[in-house]
Chain A
Amino acid sequence: MEAEKVIQTVDLSKHFGDFIACNAISFEVFKGEIFGFLGANGAGKTTAMKMLCGLSAPSSGKATIAGFDIYKQTEAIKKRIGYMSQKFSLYEDLSVLENIEFFGGIYGLSQQEIKQRGQQLIDQLGLADVAKNMVGSLPLGWKQKLAFSVASLHDPEIIFLDEPTGGVDPVTRRQFWDLIYAASVRGITVFVTTHYMDEAEYCHRVSIMVDGEIKALDTPENLKKQFQVDSMEDVFFELARGAQRLGD
């Protein structure tokens, strides 16, 4: 596969004092790929993701996102990525339409684009009836789908999703993954962390982090073969069992 590399990291590390949250992680992610980023609580997933998004400055190592350097070109990177954090982070006191307008606006979409893409998004998610309602009044599953759609409103090259389906029911989770697949088909790279091992099976490739290091990285099939187990859950157990750090 000679695909374009959209994320490339070499020995990327983050230290908080003596604590090494991320220890020299190196990996590559290709265009249009759904990349699962697994690990126990406290393994360093969120820290790694924040470095890639430009929210957190790395202590050492190198990385490029969409061809831009994460030390010097964070603003260029920010135009080309979407991010959905663990916490729901649309404005609950703005309506669905107002959130779309606001985030579209600050990414520099024209009034025309905001209207058009906003309408498309609302139709796609079936939110037409509640478009003028405050986001805070929507059920969690709807909010998460909306947050994902807003994060991809400006057609980013990469979307970072930090545990996007935590606390969401199985049906909505399935719908959420439909959205992820649709984005991937459009050529958007999806970088996703999750604790659900069935979701790990949906990913093209997964990496598993233990104690700040990447211990395994391959397709779900290959990983299962390598560890001679039947499911990703067992692969995860095999690796995470040796973890020294306590989860949070």
Chain B
Amino acid sequence: MMLVIERKKIDDLIQTLAKNTSVYIPVRREQGGAVESVFEKFTPGKTIDFYYLPTLCSIKEFFLPAIEDTFVFDKRKNQAATLAQKKPFILFGLNSRDLEALTQLDEIMAKPNTDFFYFKKREMATVIGLINEPIKTPPGGDLILLKVNEEQYEAMPITKKGRALTKKRFFKKESAVITNAGSKSEEIMPRLRQLLLDPEFLSDVIKWSWRQDLAIWDELATLCLGCGICTYVCPLCYCFSVEDKIDLGGKTCARCRKWDACTLPRFAQVTGGHNFHKTIRERYYNWFFHKFVRAYNEYGKSQCVACGRCQKYCPAKIDIEKYILKMVDAYVKAKGV
């Protein structure tokens, strides 16, 4: 017996869910000839993009927004209040890479200390994956809808929240389901994806490259504009800064957390002016070092799911996959492995 939902019923399911809760789905937008996928709040008439393209804003925005007020301090009351997400919401239709990224981000935000503001949002969210290619293990979320054939998706509840959703009338138990999902979604960064299976090797390559192959980092430093966009769009970059802002009347102030980027010039600068990462080369390396070396030491994996966003949105058009492959080639040649 398999719990299934008809593909054509998925939009109906979203519409039903949206009656009581805000539901965010990937939709396809066409503007001036350019085709983009974006996560938007569902309103009647919108349909889900089953094969969404790498979105400019990754799913981290729902849990670690670009700018958020964390505390508000009231000068008259002389008191600080904590701001936390109170309304439940649903994130519907994440592909396997985004689900994988979210699972990793959960792990990062829980260790070594729990990030209060992240998990307050996470607790309020129900995450539903929509996966069109065969998977070995469910990458995360509360419920996964896995394509079994052109008309049907299998419902795989992962958590209690997910199980509750499958009680809805759109899901049916069927015994004779034809499984021929076959169709693969378009491969993004396929070779990097393969490399990510051996994070220890990648970690060694990156470390070796900084010591032995400085030319490649010089090349990256000439190309990189140091704008930080690669980190903003990355679902697994989570550097942030904290700043206070005061309202114009001077009555309240908010402690504001916002995205920062380790590739920006003043990221590692301390008060008084000393900068630990003065050059773009150092900052670019630091970005790689975190993703592939420190992340491997801390979590046993690279902080990358090869979603393709950094490469797609880099204004300098740096082919990141190509550079990683170059480093790998140089390493393999030098080490004879």
- Real binding pair: no
